[in-house]
Amino acid sequence: MFVAILSGLLLLGEGSLDQVKAVRGYLASALSPIQTLAAQPMNWATRQTQDTLEARQLREQLRVLELENQRLQVRQQRMRVLERENDDLRAAVAAATRYEDEFVHAEVLAHSPDPFIKRMVVNRGFNAKAAPGQAVLDPSGLVGQVVEVGSLSSQVLLLTDASHRVPVVVERSGYKAIARGTGHDQLELENVPPTAEIAVGDLLRTSGLGQRFPQGYPVARVVSVERTPGQAFARIIATPVAQTDRLDQVMLVYRTQTARDRALAILEVAPGDS
């Protein structure tokens, strides 16, 4: 009975008190050596399989990577031109310059060993100025967000976890919705009317609403749209563009300015226009 009450209190406390979450972050970071150690056998097995790749395969991989690198460099040159053009245009309409997000590289120490919890531990804690709510990316798109911060490591909640929500916008039509994690490797769009402009293959990006995730990062691609007559909402399933289950390197996003700061900056630039 005592234990049941204690469990209930702890659960309630975790849900509502920030102090309990902070303590949890500290305690969890104390356990991170165990997680690092426990991840070693799997890392070793992966390394072994990688080491035994034949030289031919490695040469092939190298060729593909060189090609991709060239392609990216060419695109980057174009990007620079576009960025400058964009800045010029923004200056022309007296809008505030867009602030660049900064990235810090982090290594994944462990994935949650529970099959129904989509979390991982990364090697950046509050020493690296990680903070709860910070967005986490991989090269292809959004991975999740930091939820608990310890001194040397942080827990990242993946966007496929059943308790995770992310505001998204459909790239093609501009329709905005909330993407809910399903607990499997998929996302579901919540409360979307059957008439919404969404089709299979559409890319979902972060909309920036809610001010938690920075705007414009790819999140998922729609894989199925079911519109059942008589149902109030369409059932829309999307798969994340990031490989959320087998990541070993991620990027933490540091936002130089919040959306509110940006709005204030606009007011400062053009006080008469508001």
- Point out which residues bind another protein (CB under 8 A): 3-4, 6-8, 10-11, 13-15, 20, 24, 27-28, 31, 34-35, 37-39, 41-42, 110-117, 119, 155, 162-163, 182-183, 245
In which element (H, E) is residue 157 found? strand 154-158
CA nearest to 255, candidates 148, 96, 102, 130: 102
Which is nearer to another protein, 136 or 198 (by Cβ)?
136
Instruction: Quickly count: other Cβ atoms within 10 Å of residue 176's Cβ.
Output: 15
CB of 155 to another protein, least distance (A): 6
Which is nearer to another protein, 13 or 194 (by Cβ)? 13
Query: What is the rounded distance in angstroms from the CA atom of residue 199 to the CA atom of residue 273?
Result: 38
- Round to whole Å and give the CA distance between 190 and 171: 17
Tell whether the torsion through CA atoms of 33, 39, 44 and 46 is positive or negative.
Answer: negative
* Minimum distance, C-beta of residue 259 to another protein, in the bound complex (Å): 28
Kindly state the tokens that stand for 68.
Answer: 């991709």
> How many angstroms separate the CA atoms of 26 and 122, rounded?
14
121 vs 169 by CB, closer to another protein? 121
Question: Which residue lies nearer to another protein by CB, 21 or 98?
Answer: 21
Residues ≥6 apart with Cβ < 8 Å to 71 = none
Write down the least CB distance from residue 226 to another protein, Å. Answer: 19
Q: Which is nearer to another protein, 17 or 74 (CB)?
A: 17
Minimal distance, residue 34 CB to another protein, in Å: 5
Tell the smallest beta-carbon distance from residue 158 to another protein (Å): 10
Q: CB-wise, 106 or 196, nearer to another protein?
A: 106
- Smallest separation (angstroms) from another protein to the CB of 179: 16
Report the SS3 class of residue 106: strand
Amino acid at 77: Q
Nearest alpha-carbon partner for 100 in 253, 243, 220, 249: 253
